[in-house]
A and B are shown apart, each in its own frame.
Chain A
Amino acid sequence: MSNGSSGVLASEFDLLDQFRQGDLDAFEALYRLHQRAVYGWILRIVRNPSAAEDLTVETFWRIYQARARFDASRLFEPWARRIATRAALDWLRTRRSDGELTDDVLAAQATSSTDPGVTAEIRAKTAQAFARLPPGLRIAAILAVVEQQPHKEVAEALGISVTAVKLRVFRALRLLRKDLERQGITP
């Protein structure tokens, strides 16, 4: 299992096997390998660094609790992403969806390269309308449209088919358009 004097585990396969048996060192090694990817995935969904940190902790706690159900013949990261997505979805469901913009979203808008044809007011109203969408649609749209993640990865993370992802994105965009039209913005 160990590799040389450093005691580093030989491969991720061995690591996963040890992790399944509840080995905390193996779990820490997996955490070190994947925490950045898990944090990044969650941040892309919740867009709030502080909440993303809390949810990363929550995700790794859930991962450890579910270790016996992990299929060692499969990759760890997609499985972790799925658990992370569920944790993020739970968080989004508990949040008020009044469309209030967080400082992080406003800061991101301010620092990103913006299209001069889209005013700050339209950007703000779009972000607010998006925040009012059902969380399940929001996740699919933000990952597929904004973050441009492959539909297959989004589908795996949400535990649905690629067709269902496309459908959710379509519904999200249609609802967003209707909401914007109600506010007098014609996209």
Chain B
Amino acid sequence: MSAHHEDRIQHLLRQALPPVAAQPEPNHDLWPAVLRRLDQQPAAQPQSKWVWFDGALLAALAVMIAAFPVSIPLLLYYL
């Protein structure tokens, strides 16, 4: 592509998509939205995963102890 063509395309592009104003500002204060986002996201996913996983582990442990009471001393040894 020649320099002339490149200049022409650049000119067309600037005509099609005029530059944004120098100092654009949001219509309102976004800080409350940032705070809401911080409150929502952090631990939501990991927490729910681990709660489920911890529950399953505890249930498995309870079943194992009920089925094999002799394993209790062994478990205590490893804890």
List A residues at the B interface (Cβ < 8 Å).
Answer: 28, 31-32, 35-36, 39-40, 43-44, 47, 49, 52-53, 56-58, 60-61, 64, 105, 108-109, 111-112, 114-115, 118, 122-124, 126-127, 130, 141-142, 145-148, 170, 173-174, 176-177, 180, 187
Kindly list chain B residues whose C-beta atoms are within 8 Å of the C-beta of A28: 31
Residue in A40, A49, A61, A146 whose CB lies within 8 Å of B41: A61
Contact sample, A vs B, 13 pairs, CB 8 Å cutoff = A39-B24, A40-B24, A47-B20, A52-B24, A53-B28, A57-B30, A109-B18, A115-B11, A145-B10, A170-B6, A173-B9, A176-B13, A177-B5
Q: In the complex, what's the smallest C-beta–C-beta distance from A91 to chain B, in angstroms?
A: 15
User: How many A-B pairs fall under 8 Å by CB?
Assistant: 118
Stretch from B32-40, B47-55, B56-64 contacting the other chain = B32-40
Kindly list chain B residues whose C-beta atoms are within 8 Å of the C-beta of A36: 23-26
Whether A127 contacts B17 in the complex (CB less than 8 A), given A174-B1, A177-B9, comes out as yes
Residue in A35, A39, A52, A118 whose CB lies within 8 Å of B12: A118
Q: How far is the CA of A39 from the CA of B5 in the complex (A)?
A: 33
Which secondary structure characterizes the binding site on chain A?
Answer: helix
Q: Does B15 sit at the interface, judged by CB under 8 A?
A: yes
Which secondary structure characterizes the binding site on chain B?
Answer: helix
- In the bound complex, do residue B26 and residue A123 qualify as a contact, i.e. CB atoms below 8 Å apart? no
Q: How far is the CA of A180 from the CA of B12 in the complex (A)?
A: 11
- In the bound complex, do residue B5 and residue A187 qualify as a contact, i.e. CB atoms below 8 Å apart? yes
Residue in A40, A109, A177 whose CB lies within 8 Å of B16: A109
Kindly list chain A residues whose C-beta atoms are within 8 Å of the C-beta of B30: 35, 39, 53, 56-57, 60
Q: Does B19 sit at the interface, judged by CB under 8 A?
A: yes
- In the bound complex, do residue B26 and residue A35 qualify as a contact, i.e. CB atoms below 8 Å apart? yes
Q: How far is the CA of A61 from the CA of B36 in the complex (A)?
A: 10
Kindly list chain A residues whose C-beta atoms are within 8 Å of the C-beta of B33: 53, 57
Beyond A122-B15, A127-B17, A187-B5, list 14 extra A-B contacts (CB 8 Å): A31-B31, A36-B24, A39-B25, A39-B30, A40-B20, A43-B20, A49-B26, A58-B37, A60-B37, A118-B15, A124-B16, A126-B13, A126-B17, A173-B13
Question: Which residue on B lies nearest to A112, using beta carbons?
Answer: B18
Kindly list chain A residues whose C-beta atoms are within 8 Å of the C-beta of B12: 118, 122-123, 126, 176, 180, 187
B8, B10, B18, B28: residue with the most chain A Cβ atoms closer than 10 Å: B18
B15, B16, B38: residue with the most chain A Cβ atoms closer than 10 Å: B16
